[in-house]
Amino acid sequence: MHEAEKKLNRVVLKPKREKPLLNSHMWIFSGAVASLPEFNDGSILPVYSSDEKLLGSAYFNKRSSIIGRMVAFGDVDPIVAIKANLAHAVKCRSQLFAKEHCNGYRLINGEGDSLPGLVVDRYDDVLVMQIGTLGMEKLKPLLIEWFVEHLTPLAIYEKSNLPTRKEEGLPPSATLLYGADVSVVDIIESGLKFSVDIPKGQKTGFFFDQREMRKIVQAKAHGKRVLNCFSYTGGFSIYALAGGASHVDSVDISESAIALAEQNAAINGFGSSQCSFYSADVFEFLRDRKLNYDLVILDPPAFAKKQKDVVAACRGYKEINRLAMKNMPKGSLLLTCSCSFHVDSDLFQKVVFQAAVEAGRTVRIIGHHTLACDHPINICHPEGEYLKSLLLYLQ
């Protein structure tokens, strides 16, 4: 390509708007762009500062307020950088987990692994891919080829149902991309067994991001009566039982999730004398009974999927925490969580404080969220942090 053509085929930022990229931040907002070439949405383009310095390469989509997402910095070829970042992510996980003790984990964590728009979870020999952007969607053939060559998976599924896809001009997608049609996969996490229904499960099928908090529950559960709300397929419940809980009740509105939670208890050797399962609305369950539990877990799905949902989400978080605190006994523990990106840690703590005031309870924070190591946050891109947890002692 001649120099004149290169100049035509580049994105140029406005003056003094290059600093985030010089600090390896991965997002370019539309307001930072001075000029764009003619291009098809999803294309990878070189990015220059206003003084003609090459900053790197990003894929672009004019539909999105985050118009560009960096895939390479400096003069590194973007495809070479993408493949290198895939290899770095896989190597990192191989150092974190021993297969005989844990063969289910997050393999690729978006910006945390310098691969914006891409999440991949590993379920033993099955990979589940979640793509949130048009630029990464166009790279899907390359991704599949790389995973097949380097990991030889039994199957690769796609479960892309993120809200960002609509803004990117993409429909939801759930399909088998490669290999055998294996819908239910058995995995091991921290030596415990779980069956994961990939096509029917939420997100990619299992929530690896709460692994460390499940371990904390396991450590605190001995001899306690435990209530796991929004239990999904019983992750916290199984860990509590493994920790010696005297009894665990699991509540989720999904009958299929409750059925799988009951199955997960059984395959780990826990019977009906140790655990009970309820398909019910958690708000109604908390409202309708006295909570005679020593440890209660509130781990709801995201109440705020968009910025405009924050006010309603905070009402929801306050209500479930108020109901729990109001009806829990003195000296009990409450683990309360939020996975809503748009509700940050400070706001979440204020909401929980308001719930405590309205419930008339004196509450102490005795623990905060511990990040799961397979969900790395790029230190240059702190927006990757979304999950909050507070471990509370109710006086």
Phi, psi of 128 (to 5 degrees): -125, 120
**Under 8 Å between Cβ of 388 and 348:** yes
CB atoms < 10 A from the CB of 308, how many? 9
**Which residues contact residue 366 at a Cβ distance below 8 angstroms, ignoring those fewer than 6 apart?**
333, 391, 392, 393
CB atoms under 10 Å from CB of 87, counted, come to 12
| Options 102, 339, 373, 380, the catalytic residue | 339
| Whole-number Å distance between alpha carbons of 164 and 169 | 9
Would you call 339 a catalytic residue per the annotation?
A: yes
Whole-Å CA distances, 214 to 210, 265, 343: 6, 15, 22
Sign of CA dihedral 376, 379, 381, 385: positive
* Maximum CA extent, the chain: 76
Give start and end residues of each alpha helix (H) in the chain: 3-8, 19-22, 78-96, 134-138, 140-151, 164-167, 211-220, 235-242, 255-267, 282-287, 310-327, 345-359
Residues sharing a CB contact under 8 Å with residue 9, sequence separation 6 or more, in sequence order: 1, 37, 39, 45, 46
In DSSP terms, 176 is beta-bridged to 157
For 199, the 3-state DSSP assignment is coil
Residues recognised as catalytic: 339
